[in-house]
Amino acid sequence: PHSAPRFRLLKKKVLSTWDGFTIPLPFSRAVLLWGEPLIVSKSAGKEDLEIARRRLEKALTDLTSRADSLCRS
């Protein structure tokens, strides 16, 4: 199973490293959301994998929006 975690910080320092390492600033608000597991069969064909990819992309987009709004409120 695959899941869609999302983590957001309101106040942060993003380093200019290859991975954009983020350091939370003191007293910053943080939100961690974890999506529902997405199960893909080992025997899934190209069409099924594309459907799963779209579902995961939508889940990540939705979680990102939710995390951003919760972090700001």
Condensed to tens digits (0 to 9), the pLDDT of residues 31-71 reads 888 888 888 888 989 999 999 899 989 988 888 888 888 87
- Residue pair 27/36 in contact (Cβ under 8 Å)? The answer is no
DSSP-derived letter for residue 20 is -
**What pLDDT does 49 receive?**
92
Residue 29's pLDDT band (cuts 50, 70, 90): confident
- Cα 25–chain centre separation: 20
